[in-house]
Amino acid sequence: GVLEHFAVRDSLAVIVAISNQHQIRLICENINSFNADINTIVKVRNSSEGDVISDLNINNIINSRDMVSDILVERALECKLP
């Protein structure tokens, strides 16, 4: 398969950052099938996308909606009043 072609089995880490929820699931299932100790980082758009892969062996699920919210709050708190 595609992941075998890219030697994912020998990778220390894999980052999955695509927009298609179905493809995210398929890629993560494929990574899990290697039964290797691969640090997998997956970007999802929201918590429901994260739920779709929560049963898989994913080390890091990054919710981009939460990340953007955190950045916005951080930037708002950095603003200095004149």
Both structure tokens of 58: 């994913």
Question: Does 3 have pLDDT greater than 60?
Answer: yes
Closest by Cα among 74, 54, 50 to 63 = 50
CA distances from 17 to 24, 25, 35, 42, 74 (A): 8, 12, 21, 6, 24
- Work out the mean pLDDT of the chain and round it to a whole number: 88
> What pLDDT does residue 50 have?
93
- Quick one: DSSP state of residue 16? E
> What pLDDT does residue 82 have?
53
CB-based contact 14:32 (threshold 8 Å): no
Domains of the chain: 2-78 (3.40.50.720)
Among residues of the chain, what percentage have pLDDT more than 70?
Answer: 95
